[in-house]
Every structure is written in structure tokens, then in C-alpha cells.
Amino acid sequence: MAAMSVERGEFEAAAERHRRELHVHCYRMLGSLDEADDAVQETFLRAWRRRSTYAGRASLRAWLYKIATNTCLDALGARPRRPTPVEDAGAGGGGATEVLWLQPYPDALLEPDAALVAKETIELAFMVAIQHLTPQSRAVLILRDVLDWSARDTAELLETSTAAVNSALQRARGALAEHLPAERAEWPSAIVDPTAAERELLRRYMDATDRSDIEALKATLHEEATFAMPPQPGVWQGRDTVVDGWVSGGFGGEEFGDMRCRLTTANRQPAVACYVQKPGTDVAKLFAIDVLRFEDGAVREIVTFSGDALLGRFGIPLTL
């Protein structure tokens, strides 16, 4: 394919082999599953239109990564955005920031390459932290530290100097550490699969939710637990604030309905699919997915996502 004088079907077949990794790359850059879909499609369109410019000096994979990265940079430049401070004291502001465009990444989309995507490079805490970086710094950090590209190759892709890449990387690493959770201050960190104790904690969390047992549910949460539900604004902080907020929203009441929980995963983190069976019905409908982070033997962070289109991407039943 050195001269790219190929039929469209042949080109698409060659490019398609890289779709999964390009999709994860665009997701890291943009923080949104839907926007990653659009970026990958735009990447393939640009690649086809510019196929005559591919000289074969680099691999097709590297060429596609360059197009994908620039597609994401163009998208970020067209709609600049940064995480916003949480100012509503009633929602537990306390200096927290939120990424309202954040969406989860279903682990089912990583198969069969899930083992090749390190948890610490796609977990929600990392995704939130890199949204604080400028788009250019974000691209440098992802290319160098996540994808393990050389400074020279990164500079060539971004059409800058090696010195500029090295300088941007140092700044990006420093900024990233500032926005990672305390136990993740070192980058990269050694993240392991859930321990037996964490699996038991997850079982207790699901059981308490199923039974709408408020006290048992509180017992699974960290004293400084946080709860967010992007794109809805607000970050609730503190175990009592979080659970009391759920109760005031109807959780545990007869009109709310009966909860049923099923285990799933997102961003290589444990996640709970939450179904609700309303009074007078015989079907429980999927209404949200809680993505969890553990700390000190308790649930430290809950990020909840809803919406039929988004939840449909998880490949789990929409009703029970």
C-alpha cells in the first residue's frame, strides 16, 4: 500500500484492523464515547481522501494515528472546554471539578484486546485528570506515556520539535499528578484487579442497593465518598450527603420501585447495572450504570451514567 493506489474496499480493510485502538485513542483525547465514534469515522474519511499523500515512510498505523490525533485536536479547538469547578455548596462543592461531557467506555468494546489496555490509562480518574491538560499536552502525554511512542515520532506526528515534546511531557506529567486521586499521585501507578475484599465489598454494595437498605449501603461507602452523574452538574461529597441525596430523590420509597443490580464493567473498573421495577409492572428496566472506585476498603467514588442510547452500548439486557 506504499502508494495507496488501492481500491476503496482494500483500503478500508487495511484501516479497519486499527479501528479498535484508534477508537480508544480518540476516547482518551475527547473523554466522550459518542465523540470518539465521530472522530474515528472522520479519521477514516480523511485518510481515504488523503490516501495519495501517504508516502509509505511510516506504517499505515502511525499514519492513521496522526490523522486521528489531528482530528481530535481540530474537534477540541472548535469547541474549547475545561473541567469546571463545582460551586454549589449544597451539592458538596469543596473545590471539586467536574467533566460534564464524560462518558464511560464499556469493556465489551475492548474485547478481545482488553488485556492490552492498561487499567490506569482508561479508568475514569485518569480520564478526568487528562481533561485538565491542554489538547496539545494531552496528545503528547497519551502518545509518549500511554502508547510508548518515542519523542522523535511524537514530534513528527505533531509537527513540532523533540525538545518541545519533552518539555510538554514534563509539564503534562506534573499537571496530571495534581488532578489524580491521592493514591494515584505517582504516574504511572500499579493498578491491580479487585482483591477478594473488594469483591466482597462490591457484593455488599449490590445487595444493600437491591434491598434499599440505607444503613447497609452507607456502611459500604467511604466517609469522603463522592457521587456524580454527568452530564448533570453537581458533585455530591460525603457519605451522608450522597446517600441522603438518593433518598430525597425517591430511592427506597414505594413509588421508586424495586431495585435489581447486575455486575458489569466499564473503563476496566467494576460497575453495577441498576434496574428498577416500578410498582404494578412485571419488568425491571435498566436505568443507570454506576462505575465504582475503591479506596481504603470502601467505595470512594460513584459515577453514574444513564440514557438508553449510551446504556445500550454495554451489551447487557435492557430489561429483566
pLDDT of amino acid 182: 77
Q: With CA atoms as reference, report the closest residue to 132 among 94, 173, 176, 96.
A: 176
Average pLDDT over residues 263-292: 96
User: Residue 94: helix, strand or coil by DSSP?
Assistant: coil
Give the pLDDT of residue 83. Answer: 92
**DSSP letter string over 14-34?**
HHHTTHHHHHHHHHHHHS-HH
Q: How confident is the model at residue 12, as a pLDDT? A: 85
Of the pLDDT bands very low, low, confident and very high (cuts 50, 70, 90), residue 86 is confident
pLDDT for residue 117: 86
Average pLDDT over residues 89-112: 78
- Gap between the Cα atoms of 226 and 201, Å rounded: 17
- Among 80, 100, 124, the domain boundary falls at 80
Other CB atoms within a 10 A radius of the CB of residue 42 amount to 17
Would residue 29 count as lying in a domain?
Answer: yes
Is the model more confident about 299 or about 113? Answer: 299
**Cβ atoms of residues 304 and 229 within 8 Å:** yes
In a domain, 189, yes or no: no
**What's the pLDDT at 89?**
38
| pLDDT at residue 58 greater than cutoff 90 | no
Q: Is residue 218 over pLDDT 60?
A: yes
Whether 37 shows a pLDDT value over 70: the answer reads yes
Contact 44, 15 (CB under 8 A): yes
Cell numbers given for 148: 510508548
Residue 2 pLDDT grade (very low, low, confident, very high; cuts 50, 70, 90): very low
In this structure, are strands 232-237 and 258-266 parallel, antiparallel, or unpaired? unpaired
The torsion angles phi and psi of 260, rounded to 5 degrees, stand at: -135, 130
Q: Does residue 276 fall inside a structural domain?
A: yes
190 band by pLDDT with thresholds 50, 70 and 90: very low
**Given CA atoms 138, 139, 143, 146 in this order, what sign does their dihedral have?**
positive
Summarize the confidence of residues 263-275 as an average pLDDT: 95
pLDDT tens-place string over residues 65-85: 999 999 999 999 999 998 988
How do 258-266 and 269-277 pair as beta strands? antiparallel
290 within some domain: yes
Q: Which domain holds residue 14?
A: 1-80
d(CA 194, CA 118): 14
In this prediction, residues 227-231 reach a mean pLDDT of 96
**Among 21, 54, 80, residue at a domain's last position:** 80
Domain boundary residue, one of 62, 80, 98: 80
Does residue 108 sit within a domain?
Answer: no
Confidence of residue 275 (pLDDT cuts 50, 70, 90): very high
Is 158 contained in some domain?
A: no
Mean pLDDT of all residues in the chain? 90
Given pLDDT bands bounded at 50, 70 and 90, which one contains residue 6?
low
Identify whether 123 is part of a domain: no
pLDDT value for 95: 59
Q: What is the number of structural domains in the chain?
A: 2
137 has pLDDT over 60: yes
Question: Domain with 256 in it: what CATH number?
Answer: 3.10.450.50
Q: What is the pLDDT of residues 286-310, one digit of tens each?
A: 999 999 999 999 999 999 999 999 9
**Residue 97: predicted pLDDT:** 83
Q: Which three cell numbers stand for residue 276?
A: 428498577
Statement: residue 184 has pLDDT above 70: no
User: Does residue 116 lie in a domain region?
Assistant: no
The residues, any chain, with a CB within 8 Å of residue 167's CB and separated by 6 or more, are none
How many Å apart are CA 47 and CA 53, to the nearest integer? 9
**Long-range contacts, 47-50 (Cβ 8 Å, 24+):** 47/11, 47/15, 48/8, 48/11, 48/12
Confidence of residue 106 (pLDDT cuts 50, 70, 90): very high
- The alpha helices in 103-195, defined as continuous H runs, are 124-130, 135-141, 151-158, 162-179
As a whole number of angstroms, the distance between CA 312 and CA 227 comes to: 22
Q: What mean pLDDT do residues 16-23 have?
A: 95
Mean pLDDT of all residues in 271-283: 96
CATH number of the CATH domain containing 43: 1.10.1740.10
Judge if pTM exceeds 0.75: yes
